[in-house]
Every structure is written in structure tokens, then in C-alpha cells.
Structure 1
Amino acid sequence: MFEQGPFGRQAEEMIEQLKKTLGDTFGEDFTASVRERAMSFRTDLIEEDTRFLLEAELPGFRKEEIDIDYTASYLTIRAVRHEQNPESDETRRVIRSERRYGEFVRRFFIENADRDKIRASLKDGILKLDIPKKEVAGGKRILIEGED
């Protein structure tokens, strides 16, 4: 009667059951995308002339629980939430707990970001990143000298 949503351990169990039931009908890519959506968060990534703007929904996370890394043109956002069991006693019992726990990770390929100037803020569950682009020297037209 009271079941938790498809997150955490139950998501893994559901995916394993799908694999058993469907076999290789959809392949590993199908189950990987289901798992990714269950343990992910929504983001918007916008490119402007001089920068990228990224907004990620991370409600309930504190800034200490979020790690942002930019290495080799990949921006990785990792948020870790540790399980906190709701307290039950003789007068009160937990019937349903729908909070997601675990590690939530998104990775984006962002070329030419100026890693030293990336700025991040977290307000009302929205992580905002301002990612300036590196200044790239303009091209130079080369003229061929000599006879035709």
C-alpha cells in the first residue's frame, strides 16, 4: 500500500527487474539512461559570446555538499546527500519517505572555459555558474607570396 518512489535502492531493483524481463531488447543504453535520470538533477546550459551560464536544480543541498570541478574541458558537478532516517517512536511511525539520497553527478563538455574565472553561487536550491570563455586570439589571414 505504501511504497517509496523509484529512487535509490528501489531504482536499482527496478532496473535489474527490467533487465531480467526484457533481456537485451533495449540494451545497456536503455537501463543506463533510466539509472542516470533517477540519480540526476535538471540543468540549463546557455552559451553567450563571452561566457557560458549554467543553472542546476539542487533543492535541499548545502554548498558544503556540492563539488564542482573543471578538468580537461569537462565540468563535473557532484552533489552528495547522506541518508538521514526519519525518527520513529511508539506514537509516530514513518509511513513514507520520498527523499533522495546518494551521489548525484552531471558532467558537461565545455571547451575553452577560463577555469580561474569560474564563479558559483547557490540560492534557493539553484546552483548558478558563470563560466567565462578564454580569450582566443583572432585568426590571421596568410597571403602566399611569389609567382602564380
Structure 2
Amino acid sequence: MSLIPRDSWFDFNQMFDHAFPTLRHKFDVESFSPRIDIVEKEDSFEITADLPGVRKEDISVQINSGNLTIEATTSKDEEQKEGDKVIRKERYEGKLMRSFYLGHNLQHETVSASFKDGVLKVEVPKIEPTHPTSARIEVK
């Protein structure tokens, strides 16, 4: 039996890295968008987003016309000594963004957000939806 070393051309990720070293991060969808859970409760939406390695100051949460947008940026760690050689770089550096439509029955004034241990939690209270009224119009 012959054993193939793990760092061989048969490992697809390694093969892709060797063939297209500058393109891999462009196709890695997971690195561009954080993992998010959205739970709808009777009176609110609860959004939880994993943002590891992001500082609180680099997070922006906006709500506009029923769309909730979460943006975050991560910066490069430029600390590299002369003579150091990067062998593999998988951590994403740049802008992360996710946007969701939650509806128009949202109470924008009391949206709250907290960030602890790399996890962002946003609570968006709901208001009673306004029901469209109808009226019969007499044609003269």
C-alpha cells in the first residue's frame, strides 16, 4: 500500500491554491459574509451574527425601509518581521456585509444592538401592522 502525503496534488484545496494562488479568496463565499441567525418572535426579530476578529468600533448596523444591514471591517495585521515568509493566509481581511428584509412593521426608534466575544446581537421590535382600509366610492 502506498500512502499519499496530505500536502499533495490530490488534495483539492492545495491543488487550487497552487494553480490559482491569488484567486482562491475571491471564490470563498464563507469569508465574505458572516454567519447569521434570524429568529422571529411575536413582538420582535432577534438577529445573531458571528463576527470573530472584528472590533466593536468597526461594526455598523443600519435599518432603512425594512432592510437591516450589518457591515463590519477587519484590518490587516501588518506585524511581520523581516525574513518572515507567509506560507498560508486564510483569514479574511476587508469588508463584511449582510442585508435582510424584515418588513415594514418595525419600530426603528427602539432597535438595540450589543457585541460581546465576537457575537453581535440585534433586537428589532415589531409594531402592529397597519391594515389597509377600504371604502366604496360612488361613481357620479
The answer, yes or no, to whether TM exceeds 0.5 is yes
TM-fit CA distance, 1:60: 1.2
- Give the fraction of aligned pairs with identical amino acids, expressed as a percent: 31
Of 50, 59, 62, the residue aligned with 2:52 is: 59
CA–CA distance in structure 1, aligned partners of residues 108 and 78 of structure 2 = 38
Quote the residue 1:87 is aligned against: 80
The alignment partner of 2:24 has SS state of helix
Quote the residue 1:10 is aligned against: 24
Q: Which deviates more, 36-45 or 58-67? A: 36-45
Whether 1:46 aligns to 2:60 is no
Root-mean-square deviation (CA), in Å? 2.9
Alignment of 1:100-111 (within 5 A): 100-111=92-103
CA–CA distance in structure 1, aligned partners of residues 85 and 42 of structure 2 = 55
Structure with more of its chain in helix, by fraction: 1
Q: Which runs of 5+ in 2 are unaligned?
A: 1-6, 8-13, 136-140
Contact 1:87–1:94 (8 Å) recurs in 2:
no
Q: Which runs of 5+ in 1 are unaligned?
A: 16-34, 143-148
Q: Where do 4+ consecutive residues of structure 1 move more than 3 Å?
A: 1-4, 35-38, 135-140
Contact 2:31–2:92 (8 Å) recurs in 1:
no
CA–CA distance in structure 2, aligned partners of residues 125 and 39 of structure 1 = 16
Letter in 1 for 2:91: R
Distance 1:128 1:71, change over 3 A: same
TM-fit CA distance, 1:9: 5.3
Render the CA deviation track for 1:79-127: whole Å, top value 9, x for unaligned. 111222341224x443333221111110000111111111000011110
Alignment of 1:106-125 (within 5 A): 106-111=98-103, 112-125=105-118
The alignment partner of 1:97 has SS state of coil
Contact 1:70–1:115 (8 Å) recurs in 2:
yes
Quote the residue 1:20 is aligned against: none
Letter in 1 for 2:120: L
- Normalised to the residue count of structure 1, the TM-score between the two structures is 0.66
